[in-house]
Chains A and B, each alone.
Chain A
Amino acid sequence: MPANRFNAFHDYGIGLGLRVPHYGHILSEKPTVDWFEIISENFMADGGRPLEVLDQILEQYRVVQHGVSLYLGSADRFDRGHLRRLKNLVKRTGTPWLTDHLCWGSVDGTYTHDLLPMPYTFAAAKRTAEKIRYAADFLGVPICVENVSSYTEYHVSEMTEWEFLSEVVELADCGILLDVNNIYVSSKNHGFDPYDYVNHIPHHRVAQMHIAGHTKFEKYILDTHDHPVLDPVWKLYTHATRLCGVTATLLEWDDRIPSFEEVHDEALKANQYIAEARQVGAAKKAARAVRRA
Chain B
Amino acid sequence: MRARSPLPVPVRAPSALRTTSDLLGLQRFMAAALRRRLTAGERMQPRWTDGRAMTKVAGEFMKPGDRLSAFERLEIYNKQYWYRLLESFREDCPGLYALLGPKRFWRLAEAYLEECPPHSFTLRDLCEGLPAYLRANPGLTAPMTGAAVDVARFEWAQIVAFDGPSRPPVSEARLAKASPGRLVLGVQPYLTLLELDHAVDDYVIAVKQHDGGLRGGASNAVGRRRRKGAGGGGPVLKRERVRLAVHRVDNQVYFKRLDVPEYRLLRALRAGRTLARACEIAFRGSREAIEERARRVGEAFALWRRLGWLCRAT
Chain A contact residues, CB within 8 Å of chain B: 17, 19-21, 39, 41-42, 44-52, 66, 68-69, 74-76, 79, 82, 104, 106-116, 119, 121, 123-124, 127, 148-149, 151-156, 189-191, 212, 215, 219-220, 222-226, 252, 254-255
Contact of B62 among A21, A123, A155, A220 (CB under 8 A): A155
Chain A residues with CB under 8 A of B154: none
The one of A82, A110, A152 in contact with B7, judged by C-beta atoms closer than 8 angstroms, is A110
Question: A156 with B219: in contact, given A116-B77, A191-B66 (CB under 8 Å)?
Answer: no
Would you list the 9 A-B pairs with minimal beta carbon distance, nearest first?
Answer: A254-B217, A46-B165, A225-B219, A45-B163, A152-B73, A75-B24, A48-B163, A115-B220, A69-B121
From A48, A52, A76, A224, B221 is in contact (CB under 8 Å) with: A224
Q: Is B118 an interface residue (CB 8 A)?
A: yes
- Contact status A109-B220, CB under 8 Å: no
Shortest Cβ gap from A24 to chain B (Å): 13
Enumerate chain A residues within 8 angstroms of B15, measured Cβ to Cβ.
155-156
* Chain B residues whose C-beta falls within 8 Å of the C-beta of A45 in the assembled complex: 124, 163
A254 to chain B, nearest CB (A): 3
Asked whether B223 lies within 8 Å of A68 as measured between CB atoms, the reply is no
A-B contact pairs, 20 of them (CB 8 A): A17-B217, A46-B163, A47-B165, A48-B248, A49-B251, A51-B163, A107-B24, A108-B28, A110-B7, A114-B34, A116-B30, A119-B23, A121-B23, A123-B20, A124-B17, A127-B20, A127-B23, A155-B63, A226-B219, A255-B219
Taking CB atoms, residues of chain A closer than 8 Å to B81 are 112-114
Binary contact track B67-91/A, C-beta < 8 Å → 1, others 0 = 1101011101100110011001000
Looking at the complex, which one of A44, A107, A119, A153 makes contact with B122 (CB distance below 8 Å)? A44
B22 near A123 (CB under 8 angstroms)? Answer: yes
Nearest chain A CB to B78's CB is how many angstroms away? 10
Q: Once the chains bind, are B122 and A41 in contact (CB under 8 Å)?
A: yes
Contact of B121 with A190 in the complex, beta carbons under 8 Å = no
Residues of B close to A52: CB separation below 8 A: 251
* B interface residues, how many (CB within 8 angstroms): 67
- Flag B33-63 by CB within 8 Å of A: 1 or 0 each: 0110000000000000000000000001111
Task: Assess A123 versus B122: contact at CB under 8 Å? Given A46-B165, A50-B163, A156-B26.
Answer: no
CB distance from A90 to the nearest CB of B (A): 15
A interface footprint on B9-20 (CB within 8 Å = 1, 0 otherwise): 000001111111
CB-based nearest B residue for A218: B67
Q: How far is the CA of A90 from the CA of B68 in the complex (A)?
A: 41
Which residues from 210 to 267 on chain B have a C-beta closer than 8 Å to any C-beta of chain A? 214-221, 223, 248, 251-252
Asked whether A113 lies within 8 Å of B20 as measured between CB atoms, the reply is no
* List of A residues within 8 angstroms of B17 by Cβ: 119, 121, 123-124, 154, 156
What residues on B are CB-neighbors of A223 within 8 Å? 219-221
What A residues does B74 contact at CB under 8 A? 152
In the bound complex, CA of A104 to CA of B17 (Å): 15
In the bound complex, residues from chain B placing their C-beta under 8 Å from that of A224 are 219, 221, 223
Chain B proximity of A54: nearest CB distance (Å): 11
Contact (Cβ within 8 A) A113 B76? no
A76 to B23, CA, bound (A): 9
Residue of B nearest to A146 (CB): B218
Known: A110-B118, A191-B65. A39 touches B218 (CB 8 A): yes
Given A108-B7, A152-B76, A154-B62, answer yes or no on A113-B27 (Cβ-Cβ < 8 Å). no
Known contacts A151-B76, A156-B15, then 18 further A-B pairs from the complex at CB < 8 Å, ordered by chain A residue: A17-B218, A20-B214, A39-B218, A46-B165, A107-B28, A110-B119, A111-B119, A124-B23, A153-B62, A154-B26, A155-B61, A156-B22, A190-B65, A224-B219, A252-B219, A254-B217, A254-B218, A255-B216
What residues of chain A lie closer than 8 Å to B68, measured between beta carbons? 151, 189, 219-220
B190 is an interface residue with CB less than 8 A from chain A: yes
Q: Given the complex, which residues of A lie within 8 Å of B80, measured CB to CB?
A: 114
Contact of A112 among B34, B124, B219, B248 (CB under 8 A): B34
**Nearest CB on A from B164, distance (A):** 6
Q: Which residues of chain A come closer than 8 Å to B219, judged between CB atoms?
A: 212, 223-226, 252, 254-255
Q: Once bound together, how far apart are the Cα atoms of A100 and B248, in whole Å?
A: 32
Q: How far is the CA of A157 from the CA of B165 in the complex (A)?
A: 44
Q: Does residue B298 face the partner (Cβ distance < 8 Å to A)?
A: no
- Given A112-B81, A123-B23, decide whether A49 and B218 contact each other with a Cβ distance below 8 A: no
If A48-B251, A112-B34, A156-B17 touch, whether A19 touches B221 (CB-CB below 8 Å) is no
**A47 and B164 contact, CB distance less than 8 A:** yes
Partner of A119, one of B26, B28, B121: B26
CA distance A108 to B16 in the complex (A): 21
Is residue B139 contacting chain A, with contact meaning CB distance below 8 A? no
| B-chain residues with CB within 8 Å of residue A106 when the two chains form the complex | 121
Q: Shortest CB–CB separation between residue A84 and chain B, in angstroms?
A: 12
Residue of A nearest to B219 (CB): A225
Whether the pair A41, B121 counts as a contact (CB closer than 8 A) is: yes
A226 to B20: give the CA distance in the assembly, Å: 36
**A113 surroundings in chain B (CB, below 8 A):** 81, 84-85, 88, 118, 123
